[in-house]
Amino acid sequence: MIATLKFTALLLAVVVCRATQDYGYKDVEEPTLGDSQYGSLWPLPQKVQMSTVAFKLSGVSFQIVDAKESSSGASCSLLQNAYRRYDEYIFPISRMQGQNKKKAFASVSELQVWITSADSECDNYPSVTSDESYELSVDSPVAVLKAPKVWGALRGLETFSQLVYEDEYGAKSINRTEIQDFPRFTHRGLLLDSSRHFLPIKVILANLEAMAWNKFNVFHWHIVDDPSFPYMSRTFPQLSQQGAYHPYTHVYTPSDVKMIIEFARLRGIRVVSEFDTPGHTQSWGKGQKDLLTPCYSGASPSGSFGPVNPILNTTYDFMAMFFKEVSTVFPDAYIHLGGDEVDFSCWKSNPDIQKFMAQQGFGTDYSKLESFYIQRLLDIVTTTNKGYMIWQEVIDNGVKLKSNTVVHVWMGNKFEEELQKVTEAGFTTILSAPWYLDYISYGQDWQKYYKVEPLSFNGTDAQKKLVVGGEACLWGEYVDATNLTPRLWPRASAVGERLWSNKDVKDTNDAYSRLIQHRCRMVQRGIPAEPLFTGYCAHEYKGV
Amino acid sequence: MIATLKFTALLLAVVVCRATQDYGYKDVEEPTLGDSQYGSLWPLPQKVQMSTVAFKLSGVSFQIVDAKESSSGASCSLLQNAYRRYDEYIFPISRMQGQNKKKAFASVSELQVWITSADSECDNYPSVTSDESYELSVDSPVAVLKAPKVWGALRGLETFSQLVYEDEYGAKSINRTEIQDFPRFTHRGLLLDSSRHFLPIKVILANLEAMAWNKFNVFHWHIVDDPSFPYMSRTFPQLSQQGAYHPYTHVYTPSDVKMIIEFARLRGIRVVSEFDTPGHTQSWGKGQKDLLTPCYSGASPSGSFGPVNPILNTTYDFMAMFFKEVSTVFPDAYIHLGGDEVDFSCWKSNPDIQKFMAQQGFGTDYSKLESFYIQRLLDIVTTTNKGYMIWQEVIDNGVKLKSNTVVHVWMGNKFEEELQKVTEAGFTTILSAPWYLDYISYGQDWQKYYKVEPLSFNGTDAQKKLVVGGEACLWGEYVDATNLTPRLWPRASAVGERLWSNKDVKDTNDAYSRLIQHRCRMVQRGIPAEPLFTGYCAHEYKGV
């Protein structure tokens, strides 16, 4: 049976009407809606050849199976879990029971998943060097997904599921297709902030699901900060007992953390925890005496506290024990150490700090004191055999860093200059500056995120290779379980495609057509991704 | 047992931490958080005297009952429904069974609801003249809620439920309190747009619930517009058959409409439908041949259509039949007839229209043609015995209007001048211009809505009396079931208090403290109202 790709539109039945939008200003140009030749694929794979020849997928007989030649399969729970997940996405209502009828048309009866390298990495954690490439060949009667590692198989399963559509009669269909795919950037992250508002586990899990659909591979967990300390430490339980919004309803227990990490691993997502110091630590001080600097008002302590106290040995003893624990709880090779926005006013007010500054010959340059602290912290973390990520201020202040340090560029102005500077110094870097999704505005701001080109800065090819990716950041001041998910999706999807697809993929109109369908697919799969503009999904969101 | 009001904070356990919000600009000043002497009351009643003497509410024995003297009660389903609703809000988990124990402390065992006027209006629809006043006296052992009509009883029940808090041990408590209350403005509306995105019934119902909690009393249902026509007309079923996004999944059947109206009535909320013409009617044209003006490209029709065709008698025949139906389906005394943003370019292109203009002596002033249409439409609607509301352009264009017409001021610039002009002309008016909640921005924009003073324009006392209220508008370009509710609440709550409370209620800090608790209460009752800022609710939202 022959069908053309235009049926794709029927699957998600998305129509966007061009209402006169006269009630106010428009920030961003309206893209034009037309059917994309790539259907609803998001992010767009590196190489796609799609035929107009269409096959059916039978609800009775279709299955995802391990290829005979695969180095991994029945014993790999990561893959078996993924097969179940994607089976449910493709056949959300029911699988018919019964005998497979003799078919009058060509069909795809199997998707064979073939892990081609000897070590599938099934039981590993994903890492910055994980191979996520895959090749997908859809033909009748068999489709084949080849990937060196399970990570590529996960990405290919998502792509396969995005190729399936319904024809006019609701029959599951897929076109003959050849795809070779791999990510442009190896670090494609999303930052969520569980300190400004506590995020219930299921909110985090739901967003890990959505991340996988958008081929994100790093969950940057900004887990603690000034307002609250929801991380339950085994070594220092008083940190969350005193520092969380509530000692057991608003904390992440070790079991919670373990579950989140495993849930993410099954989707090829790294969990990089951030424990930001020496600033952003007000909540730490509640459960850990003498950790923070006492601020002075004139000659006496004011009762308030500043950043971590960098002049006490007890501070470093604490940090050594704390990060030793963190390094075992979070399996990822990297820890994000923060280091941003250190306010010097409290340090300046404190006579002991002043004395220490004089002893060390720092003069009145408090960034030297900050560097002194960071340097010692980095030495401590180095002993745990972890690499570290830090916010850009740390390098701006001239702290000596290990060569494998990842510098996180976040300041909004002139991020190109900062990328140039960081890579000139030879450091690996990731970009977040243009992708602070907590800043909302009226209209289609996804386009603004989409149009960013991370390698647009001046630099050599070697410098550009040092930019390993980026992260969309959703800081928590104004989001919690009530509004986080629709505010994040599909805005973060724009960043997802920018980081995965080829740099030439920048046709906003084509992206618009695909993204509208992709967002309806997210809604269909249960995530309340908000609309891009006037229009509808065949099946609207079922929650409230 | 004596408790002080500070326990209120424990009920909702809201803490807002003052995180340094250094990641970006701030639009609006941060309010300061302190406990309000008014606990979590929102909107603030006109007169509140609250004692520090606290009583308990027993889960075994407390009940809401009809006062013996009440003119309404057991046979009034509006009240019985409300008792059940508020009982569940006050005791959300369970009512204990069993014998009432002898109490060692003072308690409130009953809330007596006393309708004082002979006609309770139990079976009426609420109207612009409905009396919503009430008096609430909380004492031991009996609290009394007196109201002339059921409408005031509904408002008083909400207030009573807002007075209940939990003490340190979770015991339901309420302080001795005297309240006299009535709304400052009689029209306190919310506009939702079900054309740009279809809003599933349960989204509408959920928001009607939240409206009642915020003492809104008008649901302005912008039901159809250019993009889609989801209103299923019995007389012209092809309008939604052809004009809705989908002929039965994305429409409101007569039963749906009836249910929404009754659900709203039970909460003292009017449903004012808007059928906007002659612009904003693209979707009407799909199911009604010759209704819209054919646009011309040079000498021949271009295939596209403009506003309603004002020169054909068939247009007026259609409108007469259509609005006859609408006037029976929607019981409210008013219909909103729109009349905004008429684009003249299509009319100008059409040679038949040009000829008609010449015949009528309109020259090239197309606003005269618009007025011609509107005038005839108003005459038609007048025969249905309905009053009408219209957007401000209609009066700006000098159309002759019935004296009881309500003019809806929406244009953002200089709304004070428009209010002055409209009231000078003697028309009743409502204000929406500063309350377009579809325009989102970073930060606490509720304050901007809160600070609006609707009567700040230049005018006599008589003119000011003509401003009967306002409406918060959430146009639908960027909202649907996925994100509408958290985007609306608690931002609309700011408008709710502005329209209900005394004009001197404008202390942003006090409002902040109450609103934080009010939003956690909405979350607790199941509405995903978004956070105002960093902090938490004792019970976070349970959806995703």
pLDDT bracket for residue A31 (50, 70, 90): confident
Structure tokens at B35: 């406990």
* Mean pLDDT in residue range A465-471: 98
CA separation for the pair A49, A136 (Å, rounded)? 10
pLDDT of A8 over the 60 cut: no
B341 classed as catalytic: yes
Confidence of residue A114 (pLDDT cuts 50, 70, 90): very high
Angle of the A201-213 helix axis to the A150-163 helix axis, nearest 10: 80
pLDDT of residue B12: 39
Contact between A530 and B479 under an 8 Å Cβ cutoff? The reply is yes
Q: Does the distance separating the beta carbons of A245 and B15 come in below 8 Å?
A: yes
Q: Using only C-alpha atoms, what is the Rg of chain A?
A: 25
- Catalytic residue, candidates B29, B69, B88, B341: B341
For residue B185, the model assigns a pLDDT of: 98
CA distance B252 to B231: 5
CA distance A150 to B65: 65
- B413 at A interface, C-beta within 8 A: no
Q: Which among B442, B523, B535 has CB closest to A440? A: B442
Residue of higher predicted confidence among A308 and B400: A308
Using a CB–CB cutoff of 8 Å, tell me whether A530 touches chain B: yes
pTM score = 0.91
Distance CA(A72)–CA(B191), nearest Å, equals: 57
Categorize the per-residue pLDDT at B255 as very low, low, confident or very high, splitting at 50, 70 and 90. very high
Minimum distance, in Å, between the CA of residue B203 and any CA atom of chain A = 6
Contact A481 B543 (CB under 8 A): yes
Residue A30, chain B, CB below 8 Å: the answer is no
User: How many CB pairs below 8 Å do chains A and B form together?
Assistant: 191
Q: Do B540 and A480 touch (CB under 8 A)?
A: yes
CB–CB contact B412 A341 (8 Å): no
The beta-strand segments (E) located in A91-163 are 110-115, 134-138, 142-147
Determine, for residues B197 and A535 on separate chains, whether the beta-carbon distance falls below 8 Å. Answer: yes
A169-196, pLDDT tens digit by residue? 889 999 999 999 999 999 999 999 999 9
- Categorize the per-residue pLDDT at A543 as very low, low, confident or very high, splitting at 50, 70 and 90: confident
The pair of structure tokens assigned to A384 is 């745990």
Q: Is B406 helix (H, G, I), strand (E, B) or coil?
A: strand
Of B112, B88, B134, B76, the closest CA to residue B266 belongs to: B76
For residue A218, the cross-strand partners are: A189, A270
Task: Spell out which residues of chain B touch residue A491, defining contact as CB-CB under 8 Å.
Answer: none
- What was the pLDDT predicted at B169? 86
Residue B23 has pLDDT above 50, yes or no: no
The structure tokens listed for B313 are 């008698």
pLDDT in tens, A46-76: 999 999 999 999 888 899 999 999 998 788 9
- pLDDT band with cut points at 50, 70 and 90 for residue A138: very high
Confidence at residue B513, expressed as pLDDT on a 0 to 100 scale = 97
Burial of A151 (0-12, 13-18, 19+ CB in 10 A): buried
Residue B9 confidence (pLDDT) above 70 = no
Rounded CA-CA distance B222/B204 in Å is 12
* Residue B105 to chain A, least CA–CA distance (Å): 30
Burial of B328 (0-12, 13-18, 19+ CB in 10 A): exposed
Q: Does B538 touch chain A (CB under 8 A)?
A: yes
CB of A203 closer than 8 Å to CB of A214: no
Both tokens of B132, joined, read: 């919503």
How close does chain A come to B532, measured CA to CA in Å?
Answer: 6
Residues 165-204 of A with CB under 8 A from B: 196-198, 200, 202-203
Contact A20 B475 (CB under 8 A): no
Lowest-confidence pick of A1-15, B62-76, B171-185, B496-510: A1-15
Q: What is the mean pLDDT of chain B?
A: 92
Among A130-144, A191-205, B399-413, B477-491, where is mean pLDDT lowest?
B399-413
Predicted local distance difference test score (pLDDT) of residue A59: 83
pLDDT at B159: 98
Q: Which residue has the tokens 């990328």?
A: A419
Q: What is the CA radius of gyration of chain B?
A: 25
Task: Pick B486's closest partner by Cβ from A202, A441, A483.
Answer: A483
Mean pLDDT across the stretch B458-479? 98
A250 close to B (CB below 8 A): yes
Taking CA–CA distances from A535, the nearest residue in chain B reads B197
Q: What is the pLDDT of residues B364-394, one digit of tens each?
A: 999 999 999 999 999 999 999 999 999 998 9
pLDDT at B497: 98
Q: What is the Cα–Cα distance from B145 to B32, expressed in whole angstroms?
A: 34
Backbone angles phi, psi at A387, to 5 degrees: -85, 170
Nearest C-alpha of chain A: how many angstroms from B69?
41
Give the nearest partner residue to A439 out of B227, B249, B442, using CB atoms.
B442
* Best residue in A483, A489, A493, A518 for a mutation probing chain B (most B CBs within 10 Å): A483
Q: Name the pLDDT band for A105 (thresholds 50, 70, 90).
A: confident
The answer to whether A245 contacts B536, with C-beta atoms less than 8 Å apart, is: yes
- Please answer yes or no on whether A543 and B538 come within 8 Å at the CB atom: no
Which helix (DSSP H) or strand (DSSP E) does residue B163 occupy? Answer: helix B150-163
Q: Which of residues 280-309 of B touch A (CB under 8 A)?
A: 280, 282
The two tokens of residue A483 are 């509004």
CA dihedral A522, A527, A529, A534 (to 10 degrees): 70
The confidence score (pLDDT) of residue B19 equals 33
Cα A207 to Cα A3, A216, A450, distances in angstroms: 34, 11, 20
**pLDDT tens digit string along A484-502?**
999 999 999 999 999 999 9
Band of pLDDT at residue A3, cut at 50, 70 and 90: very low
**pLDDT score of B32 more than 70:** yes
Which one is catalytic: A29, A69, A88, A341? A341
Residue A529, chain B, CB below 8 Å: the answer is: yes
CA distance A178 to A102: 27
Task: Please say if the pLDDT value at position A29 is more than 90.
Answer: no
Percentage of chain B beyond pLDDT 70 is: 92
Please indicate whether, in this complex, the C-beta atoms of B540 and A412 are within 8 angstroms of each other. no
Enter the tokens of residue B494: 């700011």
Between chains, do B226 and A198 touch, taking CB under 8 Å as contact? no
Nearest CA in chain A to B198: A536
pLDDT of residue B10 exceeding 50 = no
Read off the pLDDT band of A99 (50, 70, 90).
low
* CB pair distance less than 8 Å for A226 and B19: yes
Q: Select the residue from A482, A520, A530, A537 to test the B interface by mutation, using most B Cβ atoms within 10 A.
A: A482
Identify the DSSP state of A416.
H
Residue scoring higher pLDDT (B371 or B21): B371
* Residue from the list B17, B439, B540 with its beta carbon closest to the beta carbon of A481: B540
Interface of B with A in 440-459 (CB under 8 A): 440-443
Q: What pLDDT was estimated at residue B96?
A: 65
Nearest to B505 by CA among B184, B216, B279: B184
3-state secondary structure of B413: coil
Q: How confident is the model at residue A544 (pLDDT cuts 50, 70, 90)?
A: low
pLDDT of residue B26: 40
Q: Which residues of chain B neighbour A523 with C-beta distances below 8 Å?
A: 482
Give CA–CA dist B271/B167, Å, rounded: 39
B210 close to A (CB below 8 A): no
Task: Determine the pLDDT at residue B398.
Answer: 81
B249 to chain A, any CB pair closer than 8 A? The answer is yes
Residue of B529, B533, B535 with shortest CB distance to A482:
B529
Q: What is the pLDDT of residue B489?
A: 98
A205-215 average pLDDT score: 98
Report strand pairing: A292-297 vs A142-147.
unpaired
Of A544 and A126, the structure prediction assigns the larger pLDDT to A126
The tens digit of pLDDT for each residue in B420-434 reads: 999 999 999 999 999
Phi, psi torsion values for A82, nearest 5 degrees = -65, -40
- Say which of A443, A482, A533 has its CB closest to residue B523: A482
Q: A146-160, A401-415, A486-500, B444-458 — which is least confidently predicted?
A: A401-415
- From the candidates B491, B534, B537, which should be mutated to test the interface with A, based on the most A CB atoms within 10 A? B534
Please tell me if residue B21 touches chain A, with a CB cutoff of 8 Å: yes
Three-state secondary structure string covering A245-313: CCCCCCCECHHHHHHHHHHHHCCCCEEEEEEEECCCCHHHHHHCCCCEEEEEECCEEEEEEEEECCCCH
Nearest Cβ partner of B531 from A197, A540, A541?
A: A197
**Residues B125-184: pLDDT tens digits?**
999 999 999 999 999 999 999 999 999 999 999 999 999 999 888 899 999 999 999 999
pLDDT at B95: 66
Query: Hey, what amino acid is at B65?
Result: V
**Complex confidence, ipTM:** 0.88
**Phi and psi angles of residue A113, each rounded to the nearest 5 degrees, phi first:** -105, 120
Number of Cβ atoms within 10 Å of the Cβ of A276:
22
B331 three-state secondary structure? coil
B438 in contact with chain A, both atoms CB, cutoff 8 A = yes
d(CA A30, CA A512): 10
pLDDT recorded at residue A97: 65
Residues 6+ apart with CB under 8 A from B370: B278, B310, B342, B344, B397
Looking at residue B412, its pLDDT comes to 78
d(CA A9, CA B284): 24
Q: What pLDDT shows up at residue A22? A: 37
What's the confidence (pLDDT) of residue B431? 98
Q: Work out the minimum CA distance from A262 to partner chain B, whole angstroms.
A: 20
